[in-house]
Chain A
Amino acid sequence: MDFLFNLLVSGLVVGGVYGLIAMGFAVIYRATGMLNFAQGELMMLAAYIAYALATWMPAGPQGPDAGALWLVVPGTLAAAMVAAVLLEALFIRPMAGESMFAKVMVTIALAVMIRAGIVLAWGNEPQLMPRLLGNALIRLGPVALYTPQVVVLLALALTSAATWALFARSRAGLAMRATANDESAALLMGIDVRRVYTLAWALAALYAGLAGLACAFLFSVDPTVYSLGLRSFPATILGGLDSVLGGALGGLVIGVLENLAGGYLGRGMKDIVGFLLIIVVLMVKPYGLFGTRRIERV
């Protein structure tokens, strides 16, 4: 029983990271109808920026202390959002009106460039993120979690709640839903569609920034962490490409499923169980569990 419980909890923690990345995918798809293949790389960039900020701080005898968090967290999020807004303005906006292949290809090219740029700037070696949150263990019943792991779970919960509030209640969220629904109609109603796109990318960068911080604290900061983006695809699909909360839930499900597969099945099943699941789910529900079904006019 302990074994199962432990697997579930660790799965939720990893799922938290997947969920944050999936939420980023979803918010861009929701507002612009395209998938941002550079989301994993944005997350990696955020992780490296967090590392750079944390190590830039003048360090005490034990290394940077928790006070540095006041710089690292907002700094990373702000930097990620600025980067994303710039990318959107410089590379994505000019592609308006082009085919979806072209737009997707642009994000893929950006992903390649961001990856190369990060290695050029920071080198190939894995880096140790200063333990700003400490390494203390928090006991929750039969399970012990590191502080950063608990923080990730809390962060996902808070972010999901805030996102729900944003989309359901605020005008910005409403504008985004309207743009996704029908761009021309939204324009006619006076919504600045360009601002909506920028907002969508900024939000996606916010999620990516949180995911990057999580990744830096939970794992290490190295040039292969972008692969977490690849592993979040099943989470996005499971929740439905345009459902942000679905993405969060999908992430948790995939995280738990991967851990269960790793614990009980072993033999590398952990890595493909997510993709197997979505193939099965998509056969039954072609738009994911919570995605909106497209109604096409002929």
Chain B
Amino acid sequence: MRSGTFKQSYAELVALSDNPVKWAWCALALAAALALPALANSYVLGLATTIAVTAIAVLGLNLLTGVAGQLSLGHAGFLALGAYTQAILGTDHGWPALPALAAAGMVAALSSLAVGIPSLRLKGLYLALTTLGFSVIVSYLLVMFEGITRGPSGMPVPPLMPLVSGLDHGRSVYLLALLLLVAFVLATLNLMRSKIGRAWAALHEHDIAASAMGINLTAYKLLAFVVSAFYAGVAGGLLALQTRYVNVDTFGVLLSVEALAMVIVGGIGRVTGALLGTAFLVGLPELIRLGFGGTGSWFDTLFANHAHEVKELLYGAVILLFLRLEPEGLAGIWRKAKRFWVLWPLSK
């Protein structure tokens, strides 16, 4: 067990972790993730891509809601804007996928000012419902401006050029999503350790006291919205690339709720929490299907006829269980497990 830290240079102080074992595990995980396209079929790969893409959006939401404390129920709106930007720039203006992705993030980030500015005076649930209203209005506008968005029929999205020649589209999108996820994770970790992250934490804890300490509330609140919307915009663009088709229906209130569930089940305010929560909740329907695939005929018929409803029930039940039994979420369980093994046999 490691105890005490002894830093000799500024670089060591600033490094994310000084533990070589931790870096080794991270490298291993990354290698496994990179090897996945060669080993898995396209369905599993599609699932992994969905996890990576959703994780990016959830990281952003985590920053806004978990770290900065601004409860947002409207994240689906930012995802929608990102996805549509990707579609419009790609299909109608011939932009290649990667610049369109950057633009998707920027558009979502700018649009977040539309909800950020009115919300400066709002707290708690009033803020949450305003963000909800924002996402409803975004859906409406996307349908309204048919000339640009093709309205309710949705838009096709041109494919991503293969990153490495010879790689099919599914694999290319997976690798891009993985790369971006790693980049965003590093960015998030650094943000949270920086002055901005500390200001957000202060804002979360007690905003009036923070303001009294000299933290510019307006600037940091808006920054939180803008940054998290950027994440969501990029995630939306990746989603569009993956399914090759965008439509307003995908981005309803339910998506915002699912994203929030991932934040909370994973563990509010933690990066590992966001990743674990996403992987768990996206993979849960598949696990349910696998787990109950072999059981008795009663459940089989129930499942076959009402798959959607059974999954929803189990989904809700899982969230309730987590909230009730482990409020710190999966990240909390992970930490406790680590501590248990580190202290064993002296652990409680």
Contacts and interface: CB of A to CB of B under 8 A. Distances in A.
A–B direct touch in complex (beta carbons closer than 8 A):
yes
Interface of A: 29, 34-35, 91, 94-95, 98-102, 104-106, 108-113, 115-117, 119-120, 230, 233-234, 236-237, 241, 267-268, 271-272, 274-276, 278-279, 282-283, 286-288, 294, 296, 298
Contact of B206 (A101, A282, A298): A298
A230 B253 contact: yes
B268 A120 contact: no
B310 A116 contact: yes
Interface residues of B, number: 44
B121 to A, nearest CB: 4
Given A100-B124, A101-B264, A267-B144, A279 B136 contact: no
Interface stretch (B125-133, B217-225, B226-234, B289-297): B125-133
A93 B140 CA distance: 38
Q: Secondary structure at chain B's binding surface: helix, strand, loop or mixed?
A: helix
Contact of A102 (B209, B212, B313, B327): B327
A120 B253 contact: no
Given A110-B320, A116-B313, A286 B121 contact: yes
B143 A268 contact: yes
Interface string B108-135: 0000000000100111111011101110
B254 to A, nearest CB: 9
A101 B319 CA distance: 13
16 contacts: A95-B324, A101-B264, A104-B71, A105-B264, A105-B319, A106-B319, A109-B316, A267-B144, A268-B140, A272-B133, A275-B133, A275-B136, A287-B126, A294-B123, A298-B208, A298-B209
A282 B140 contact: no
Contact of A237 (B121, B123, B126, B324): B126
A282 to B, nearest CB: 6
A219 to B, nearest CB: 20
B81 interface: no
Contacts of B327: 98-99, 102
Contacts of B168: none
A276 B138 CA distance: 11
Contact of B312 (A35, A116, A274, A276): A116
A113 B253 CA distance: 16
B58 interface: no
A105 B133 contact: no
A112 B311 CA distance: 10
A29 B327 CA distance: 22
Contacts of B264: 101-102, 105
A200 to B, nearest CB: 16
A119 B124 contact: no
Contacts of B122: 282, 286
A77 B123 CA distance: 34
B133 A241 contact: no
Contacts of A106: 319-320, 323-324
Given A35-B129, A276-B137, 4 more contacts: A95-B323, A233-B133, A271-B136, A272-B136
